[in-house]
Amino acid sequence: TKVMGKGELDGIVLNTTGIALTDRVVPDSGLRVGDVLIVTGTIGDHGLAVMAKRHGLALEGDLLSDVAPINRMIASALRAGGEGVVALKDPTRGGLSSALHEMAGKSRVGILLDETAVPVTEAVRAAADLLGIDPLHVANEGKVVMGVRPDRAEAVLAAVRAHPLGRDAALVGTCIADSPRR
């Protein structure tokens, strides 16, 4: 579905639904203490590209949306990680920060994020700094956050990086025993 404010629509909105079969459903709530978190690429690309276009912002650099079909990259990660891939979430509304917060709350763990490890392009970083926006809170469309058991993390990360859409993937955090409200 698409939520739009009054007067925002000046044409037609098309909605599609995908149906698929899977051997295993990976929820966004399967994390436990010690699990690691992988993001499949740079963050903030989509949200800042859309914002710049909508508001006619003349920003330097290549702000490009990250919209992409990620099914093959995720299938590769699932093959490499097997049952060790325990949580998946798309960081759309609210960005990476919101996705991690939701995953932690549902799994009843804390998350220690290594912010220096989070991949952000120079164009996104510059635009976000100029606009006073934290890239961690900006929407993404072609990225996934994965919770992975530590013994499978390197294999999953290698599989994601082997795909053209995952070349900037990074291990960005660890699940800790902390208050799920923090």
pTM given for the model: 0.86
pLDDT in the model for residue 2:
61
Q: Write out residues in the chain with pLDDT < 70, as ranges.
A: 1-3, 60, 179-182
2 in helix, strand or coil?
Answer: coil
CA 140/CA 69 separation, integer angstroms? 13
pLDDT in the model for residue 80:
97
pLDDT in the model for residue 17:
80
pLDDT in the model for residue 114:
96
Q: Which residues of 123-132 are buried (b: 16+ CB within 10 A; e: fewer)?
A: bbebbbeeee
